[in-house]
């Protein structure tokens, strides 16, 4: 059970976050339940991130070289003193009751040790249709999976310190899917709860090229992390039908060289993709209208192409390189 008042440490990993860090910290200090300490871990930024952090009464830690979010979070965990750790990404601005909501759930559900929240569809800064696509999708797949889950997303997340004492810290070899990997170690012994009431505004990707490059890079770790999962699969952002439909389009598109009429085969794959997640389509149409749904599906398909391509490359790398992917054996190393 969580007692009140409770000692909460906020850990914010930040890298080149000058655009969003002030809004993030302002939101953290505006919580209806104030945290005991706020730790910003600057991951070797080259912009004004550190100067912005110093405008607030935070504890600022700095890494000598950029090491990724897993290493930054680990450094924050080791430096923190709270019995609960509130993780907030630097591009997120939690709504005022986010922390209080998490503590209420931890109190109401004694076997739950981790509560995480969802992105609102309204961005932190409105940067156009690509960002709108990203937030609609991110909000939807989380919102339909609320309750007890096997995966924690640490962009907005409260965790009992005892979890890290038990399962160890984040795998610093991973620069993506690190939350999926640690969730797999957590899930069988520490309950995880996804709450639609714990929310934040998020500054998401707004440029298509950068988004696709990021998806391709991150997707290379999908196969290694999935292969080494110890328990059942956790949350997935995309339906398997959509992923398979995208792969079918890629595989069958060369048939057009043999005969133009065979364009119908990848065309059928595109139709399969467009209808693979009717709930998502209804949600987008309700939120932004039919015209935006067409744009949404085009962007969604391009993202799926990047995911499938990245997963194929990552799967190949995993077969050829034993050291690619998560650490095979992670032992608890948390400092108290």
- Domains of the chain in start order, with CATH, are 8-204 (3.90.550.10)
How many residues can be counted in the chain? 336
Nearest in space to 236 (alpha carbons), one of 141, 119, 300, 301: 141
Strand-strand pairing, 92-94 and 191-202:
antiparallel
pLDDT, one tens digit per residue, over 32-48 is 999 999 999 999 999 99
Q: Please tell me the predicted confidence (pLDDT) of residue 235.
A: 77
pLDDT, one tens digit per residue, over 185-201 is 999 999 999 999 999 99
Helix and strand numbers, DSSP H then E, in the chain = 13, 9
Structure tokens at 136: 């609609």
Strand-strand pairing, 59-62 and 92-94:
unpaired
Whether 307 has a pLDDT exceeding 50, the answer reads: yes
330 pLDDT band, cuts 50/70/90, is: very low
Query: CA dist 10 to 25, 156, 237, 299, Å?
Result: 10, 10, 26, 34
Whether 333 has a pLDDT exceeding 60, the answer reads: no
pLDDT, one tens digit per residue, over 280-300 is 999 999 999 999 999 999 999
Return d(Cα 177, Cα 151) in angstroms, integer. Answer: 11
Q: For the ranges 7-11, 69-73, 108-112, 332-336, which has the lowest average pLDDT?
A: 332-336
Q: For the ranges 58-72, 127-141, 143-157, 317-331, which has the lowest average pLDDT?
A: 317-331
Return d(Cα 136, Cα 305) in angstroms, integer. Answer: 19
pLDDT, one tens digit per residue, over 91-102 is 999 999 999 999
pLDDT, one tens digit per residue, over 223-260 is 888 887 776 667 788 999 999 999 999 999 998 888 88
Nearest in space to 19 (alpha carbons), one of 89, 72, 77, 117: 89
Model confidence, pTM: 0.91
Whether 121 has a pLDDT exceeding 90, the answer reads: yes
Residue with tokens 């998020």: 202
Average pLDDT of the chain, as a whole number? 92
Whether 4 has a pLDDT exceeding 60, the answer reads: no
Q: Please tell me the predicted confidence (pLDDT) of residue 233.
A: 64
């Amino acid at each position: 059970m969580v007692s009140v008042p409770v000692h909460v440490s906020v850990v914010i990993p930040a890298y080149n976050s000058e655009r969003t860090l002030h809004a993030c910290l302002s939101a953290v200090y505006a919580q209806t339940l104030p945290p005991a300490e706020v730790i910003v871990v600057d991951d070797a930024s080259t912009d004004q991130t550190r100067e912005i952090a110093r405008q607030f009464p935070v504890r600022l830690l700095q890494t000598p070289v950029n090491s990724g979010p897993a290493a930054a979070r680990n450094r924050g965990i080791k430096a923190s003193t709270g019995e609960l750790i509130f993780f907030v990404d630097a591009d997120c601005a939690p709504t005022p009751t986010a922390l209080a909501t998490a503590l209420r759930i931890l109190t109401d559900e004694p076997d739950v040790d981790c509560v995480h929240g969802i992105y609102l569809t309204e961005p932190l800064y409105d940067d156009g249709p690509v960002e709108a696509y990203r937030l609609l999708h991110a909000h939807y797949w989380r919102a339909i999976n609320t309750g007890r889950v096997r995966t924690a997303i640490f962009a907005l997340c409260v965790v009992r310190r005892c979890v890290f004492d038990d399962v160890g810290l984040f795998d610093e070899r991973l620069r993506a899917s690190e939350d999926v990997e640690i969730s797999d170690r957590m899930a069988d012994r520490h309950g995880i709860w996804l709450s639609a009431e714990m929310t934040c505004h998020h500054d998401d990707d707004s440029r298509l090229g950068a988004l696709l490059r990021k998806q391709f890079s991150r997707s290379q770790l999908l196969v290694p992390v999935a292969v080494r999962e110890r328990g059942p699969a956790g949350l997935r952002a995309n339906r398997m039908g959509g992923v398979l439909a995208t792969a079918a389009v890629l595989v069958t598109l060369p048939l057009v060289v043999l005969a133009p009429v065979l364009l119908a085969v990848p065309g059928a794959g595109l139709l399969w993709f467009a209808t693979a997640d009717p709930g998502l389509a209804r949600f987008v149409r309700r939120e932004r209208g039919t015209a935006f749904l067409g744009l949404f599906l085009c962007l969604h398909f391009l993202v799926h192409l990047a995911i499938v391509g990245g997963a194929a490359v990552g799967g190949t790398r995993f077969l050829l390189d034993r050291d690619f992917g998560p650490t095979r054996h992670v032992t608890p190393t948390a400092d108290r």
